[in-house]
Amino acid sequence: MRVVVIIPAVGGVVAAAASAASDVSRASFRALGGHELLGAGVARCGSKAGAKVLLNERARSAEEAQEMYETVAWYGARGAERMKGRDARLDLPKRRDDAAWLCAAANAADALSEMRSFFFGKKGSSSSSSSVLLPAFEVGLEEVRGAFERTRDGVRTDRLSDAAFPALREARRRAERAELELGEEAARHDDAFELEKDVHVVPRRRRREGVVRGRSRSGKTLYVEPREVRNVAEALERARADRDELERAAVRRLAATVDEIALRRSLEKAARVDAMVARCVLGADIRGVIPTVGSDGIVDAVGARHPLIENAIPCDARASPDRACIVCGPNGGGKSTLLSLIGLLAFCVRRAIPVPADRGARCDYFDDVLGDVDGSAKRAFGGSTFEAHCRFAAHVIEHQTTRRLLVLMDELGSGTDAAEGGALARATLEALDEATVVAATHDPRLKTLAGDYDIWTFTLDDRGKPTFAARRGVPPDGGRAIEAARRCGLPTSVLERATNLLENEDDHHDSPSSPLLVRLEEEVRDLRNQLRDERDSGATAIEAAASAAARRAEAAAARIVDREAKLDQLYRDLKARPKLQPISIVGESIKAARVATRQSLADRREALLATHGLEPLETLPNKGDSVVLVAFDDNAAALTTSAAVVLDTPHTSTTRSLLKVVVAIGPGAELKVPIDDLATWAVPVLADGTWISTGDAPAWDDDNRYPRRR
């Protein structure tokens, strides 16, 4: 038994350290593109259960990674890509012991049988990899699988089959004949009509032979169900009761044959197969191969391609714990992309996804992949850009002795004075002597250390454009920032001035780099980080708004279902009151139905707005506010939207249902519409004035009376 002792005095420190490690791992995973790669795998799963397995299942060691890769190769060799990963029948809902659940269980059993036959054939396989799949699961489900009817397309329905249950078939036929007889008997009375389901009455001024089911509002006319009709209706009720009892008995008998525990165990194994198939499909899509996996911290992948970039240019990805790899080259030349590629290769190994590289690739297993790229350190540790770099370096130096780490650092030595930053960068590389390190830099001091580190340089072609291909060796010149600025469209006058300043700096200082250019690069880098943080904050806010909209839609739908159930219960309660006349029951039910219909219509409108990222106006808008004019169809099943600007608002003392707002939907086009026909966007992306799907936001004309397009 393992005993864990927590000392109160340091417990908070331990928890904080664990939290920091988790934060930097998550930030690195996202910044390097791991979430996109994993999302691509999830999208290729056919079931929710398989997607859950893919999200949670990963290797914990090099040996486990190698075993998982062997299994992936086994399934890939048997054509796993042809499975397409599109079978949602593996998602079995919670047990209810009704026909619908038994139908779902039968569909799941079909999926298991098809999967087993596809990979192993009818007799199965003795391969060691077969342990991932399910054992034979046939006992108890053959009868269930044959108990339901199918459509012409072969889709199983939840209606019990007549062929499987002869007694039920006869009971159904008796009920159908009784329904026909009731209709024929009612038709013999010329003025008969159906007051409620299966209750046929005739209007009479006075009572005759039969059962009085209601009366008119004036009370002068009675609604009488003839005795002959009543006798046939009672026979129909008995036939239906017999049929329903036989169906319930059949369902109970079928449910008793289902071993849910065994079924769910088989489905869990099938979900693992679904995840393996998704790995194979993703590997085929990115032209991946099964790598050699070790535990020495080596990456050696020739012809590696970034899996998230379409038509990516192949390059060699190499890293070793013996010598840190320093990547140099011009701005926009591919340094950051190479760091992301190496990180994704390591993530592929942890998830047993084939790596996008040439055959013979080696990608060792790493306990963790930590990257100071794309602002990940700042998101994990906070503070300024330089402080985040320092905290990241301290974190990886501390943990390199206990775990096999792959450390990826972009813009090493940046964020502060060039001389001090370069010194700190070199000292950091020297301290990271037990980790596998790949660092991208523009620092000229690091570029001259070819004897101590592996130097890789991205080059430009004859036209000064990036080749996105790296070669071993020291770059012939600097970071080519001026060429990169020219490609970005910076004015020629600015470029010429920068060139002159650079030449003057070189004449007066011994430093091989220009402080001016260093400062410019630092300012550009800080601006990029700031914009990236704003982008991430906006994305988080949009995601939260979308979740809130989905919750509103679900809540509105739930209210509709609840209201329908209450309406049905009201009708049953009214019908159960012996002294209440049937006509009164109908009247009260119709009155309640009208109220419920109005409320449900409002809920459907709110749900539809929420699914489109809109929300109703909670308060009276002000003049000049940008709003959305919405128009629903009769059943609130669809809507159309158009951009509008408020021109005038009514007095707030008016009842809301009577409030009408004057809006402009175009130059010179004014409308007076109810306030309930106006909405506003629920997503914050509109905070900067950008409109979604409705064109540009209108602005006011010089007289401040009508909107005009920008």
Q: What average pLDDT does range 148-177 have in this prediction?
A: 92
pLDDT at 306 over 90: yes
User: What does the angle CA 529 – CA 535 – CA 538 come to, to the nearest 5 degrees?
Assistant: 145
- What distances in angstroms separate CA 133 from CA 35, 48, 71, one per listed residue? 27, 17, 10
pLDDT of amino acid 511: 45
Better-predicted residue by pLDDT, 148 or 558: 148
- What number of H helices and E strands is found in the chain? 18, 23
Q: Of the given ranges (97-111, 220-234, 348-362, 683-697), which has the lowest mean pLDDT?
A: 683-697
- What distances in angstroms separate CA 553 from CA 20, 472, 601, 611, one per listed residue? 37, 57, 13, 6
- Asked if 84 and 46 touch (Cβ cutoff 8 Å), the reply is yes
Q: How far apart are CA 54 and CA 58, in angstroms?
A: 8
Burial of 525 (0-12, 13-18, 19+ CB in 10 A): middle
pLDDT of amino acid 344: 95
Which residue, 560, 691, 693, 568, is CA-closest to 637? 560
Better-predicted residue by pLDDT, 430 or 355: 355
Label residue 614 by pLDDT band (50, 70, 90): confident
Q: Of the given ranges (237-241, 378-382, 599-603), which has the lowest mean pLDDT?
A: 599-603
Q: Enter the DSSP assignment of 289.
A: B
What percentage of the chain exceeds 70 in pLDDT? 68
- Kindly write down the DSSP assignment for every residue of 84-140, as one continuous string: TT--GGG-------SHHHHHHHHHHHHHHHHHHHHHH-TT----GGGGGSPPP--TT
Label residue 705 by pLDDT band (50, 70, 90): very low
Which residue, 389, 395, 450, is CA-closest to 421? 389
Q: Of the given ranges (94-108, 325-339, 475-489, 571-585), which has the lowest mean pLDDT?
A: 571-585
- Kindly write down the DSSP assignment for every residue of 550-593, as one continuous string: HHHHHHHHHHHHHHHHHHHHHHHHHHH-TTS-HHHHHHHHHHHH
Q: What is the pTM of this model?
A: 0.62
List pLDDT tens digits, range 392-443: 888 988 888 888 999 999 888 777 777 777 788 888 888 888 899 999 887 7
C-alpha 710 chain-centroid distance: 35
Better-predicted residue by pLDDT, 592 or 391: 391
Residue type (1 letter), 627: V
Tell me if residue 325 falls in helix, strand or coil: strand
Torsion angles phi and psi, residue 23, rounded to 5: -65, -45
| 475, two tokens | 């770059």
pLDDT at 686 over 60: no
Label residue 483 by pLDDT band (50, 70, 90): low
Residue 292 neighbours by CB distance under 10 Å: 13
pLDDT of amino acid 366: 94
Tell me the pairing of strands 678-681 and 669-674.
unpaired
Q: Of the given ranges (359-368, 455-464, 550-559, 641-650), which has the lowest mean pLDDT?
A: 550-559
Which residues, 6 or more positions from 110, have their beta carbon under 8 angstroms from its beta carbon? Answer: 89, 145, 156
Q: How far apart are CA 31 and CA 408, in angstroms?
A: 11
Better-predicted residue by pLDDT, 29 or 578: 29
Q: What average pLDDT does range 634-662 have in this prediction?
A: 73
Which residue, 104, 59, 589, is CA-closest to 348? 59
Most confident segment among 337-346, 385-394, 443-452, 642-651: 337-346
pLDDT of amino acid 610: 72
| 493, two tokens | 């006058």
Better-predicted residue by pLDDT, 302 or 196: 302
pLDDT at 629 over 50: yes
pLDDT at 565 over 90: no
pLDDT at 13 over 60: no
| 366, two tokens | 């790493």
607-611 own/partner pairs: CB under 8 Å, 24+ apart:
607/552, 607/553, 607/556, 607/557, 607/560, 608/553, 608/632, 608/636, 608/637, 608/638, 608/639, 609/639, 609/679, 610/549, 610/550, 610/552, 610/553, 610/556, 610/682, 611/549, 611/550, 611/553
Q: How far apart are CA 243 and CA 337, in angstroms?
A: 68
List pLDDT tens digits, range 238-284: 999 999 999 999 999 999 988 888 888 888 888 888 899 999 999 99
Label residue 351 by pLDDT band (50, 70, 90): very high
pLDDT of amino acid 348: 95
pLDDT of amino acid 698: 43
**Calculated CA dihedral for residues 324, 329, 331, 336, nearest 10 degrees:** -30
pLDDT of amino acid 694: 37
Better-predicted residue by pLDDT, 695 or 644: 644
- Kindly write down the DSSP assignment for every residue of 345-411, as one continuous string: HHHHHHHTPPBSS-TT-EE---SEEEEE-TTHHHHHH-S-HHHHHHHHHHHHHHHTTTS-EEEEESS
Most confident segment among 170-184, 377-391, 612-626: 170-184
Strand order from edge to edge, sheet including 199-204: 193-196, 199-204, 222-225, 211-215
Q: How far apart are CA 147 and CA 143, in angstroms?
A: 6
Better-predicted residue by pLDDT, 709 or 142: 142
Q: Of the given ranges (43-57, 288-302, 498-512), which has the lowest mean pLDDT?
A: 498-512
- What distances in angstroms separate CA 274 from CA 43, 52, 65, 668, one per listed residue? 12, 10, 18, 59
| 121, two tokens | 């054939």
pLDDT at 573 over 70: no
94-101 own/partner pairs: CB under 8 Å, 24+ apart:
95/260, 97/251, 97/252, 97/255, 98/251, 99/148, 99/158, 99/159, 99/160, 99/247, 99/251, 100/158
- Asked if 671 and 629 touch (Cβ cutoff 8 Å), the reply is yes
pLDDT of amino acid 215: 82
Beta bridge mates, 53: none
pLDDT of amino acid 534: 62
pLDDT of amino acid 458: 81
Residue 657 neighbours by CB distance under 10 Å: 8
Tell me the pairing of strands 222-225 and 199-204.
antiparallel
pLDDT of amino acid 416: 73
Beta bridge mates, 457: 328, 471
List pLDDT tens digits, range 196-237: 888 888 888 776 677 888 888 887 888 888 888 889 999 999
- Mean pLDDT for all residues in the chain: 77
Better-predicted residue by pLDDT, 179 or 448: 179
Label residue 37 by pLDDT band (50, 70, 90): very high
Q: What average pLDDT does range 307-311 have in this prediction?
A: 89
- What distances in angstroms separate CA 295 from CA 42, 64, 535, one per listed residue? 27, 11, 37
Beta bridge mates, 472: 456
